Amino acid sequence: MDWSTKSVLVTGGTGSFGRRFVEVLLEKKRPKKLIVFSRDELKQHEMRQQFPDPRDSPMRYFLGDVRDRDRLARAFDGVDVVVHAAALKQVPACEYNPFEAVLTNVMGAKNVIDAAIDAGVDRVLAVSTDKAVNPVNLYGATKLVAEKLFVQGNAYSGDHKSRFACSRYGNVIGSRGSVVPLFMEQRRNGRITITDPAMTRFWITREQGVQFVIRCIEAMQGGEIFVPKIPSMRLGDLAELLAADCQREIIGIRAGEKMHELLLGAEESRGALEFEDMYVIPPPSDWIEYRGLPDAKPVGETFVYSSETNSHWLTAEEFEALLEDRV
């Protein structure tokens, strides 16, 4: 895929993922045009200081909301690749404001799909989360629906050229709402709060997430859900690394949280394919033509990719290296 000939747009482009995506794409892929689509003018202004947009620059900034289909239609004009990263993702905020979560995460996904088909966008990749697998909170449920919409969006596209796929991964170290910056803030007072030391999570850096998304865009045929192989860590071990000398207060698991997360559930393992560094869930429907991928092997019908039973656990040295990529 020749990125130098492509116009690329990222929704939620001023967020943690969007900023690193822009940085990496400009440095390594040099697209013809790179459009940041987001609703926060202040964040766009701040981002413009780092990535300016003079006439000879590929950068463009587009104010808008994924809830607004007309604005998306205007923004997608002439675009070849869309990365859909815009979402309401704070679990407590989504629980307290469920209609807002649905409007952005579900209806926003529908609007992106409709606008992309109408504008003739070639490839559209949605950034998803492990919380979409067997969800227990509204955020995860909305992301599950968004995944389903993107997979089935290929049926709506039909003979049109637009193709849709998803990338799904775990917690991003240092992102807004992550426990990592929370622990680092709390340790100043000598006391940290832990829900449950035995709780496990998948971990990935922004850089790794961005590189994975780029790879997925280049490999996608339409209808896939791509899942990277990434390490796990127990919350108690994380607390020991970040705040070993601090007093701990165990506050118990909160509403809408799981003890352990899944990136690939048992129901999805039928037909799922394993590669050296990732799993791929092909489209489940016969009406989505799928050519398959070379060097793939089936994972088996009983396979589950869980943060609890993961074969790769973060060591202290690995985690320190990952922290260098924090926000």
Domains in the chain: how many in total? 1
Q: What is the pLDDT of residue 52?
A: 95
Mean pLDDT of 306-317: 92
The domain in which residue 212 lies consists of 3-170+204-230+262-306
The string of pLDDT tens digits covering residues 97-137 is 999 999 999 999 999 999 999 999 999 999 999 999 999 99
- CATH number, residue 215: 3.40.50.720
Quickly state the pLDDT bin for 253 (edges 50, 70, 90). Answer: confident
The answer to whether 131 is a known catalytic residue is yes
Mean pLDDT of 34-41: 97
Q: What is the pLDDT of residue 255?
A: 80
In a domain, 279, yes or no: yes
pTM for the structure as a whole: 0.93
CA distances from 129 to 68, 85, 166, 299 (A): 23, 11, 10, 20
In a domain, 191, yes or no: no
d(CA 145, CA 213): 20
pLDDT at 59 over 80: yes
pLDDT at 286 over 80: no
Catalytic residue among 131, 161, 229, 258: 131
DSSP letter, residue 309: T
In a domain, 55, yes or no: yes
In a domain, 255, yes or no: no
In a domain, 327, yes or no: no
In a domain, 325, yes or no: no
171-172: strand order across its sheet: 171-172, 200-204, 232-234
**DSSP notation for 217-228:** HHH--SS-EEEE
pLDDT at 217 over 50: yes
pLDDT at 187 over 90: no
pLDDT at 327 over 60: no
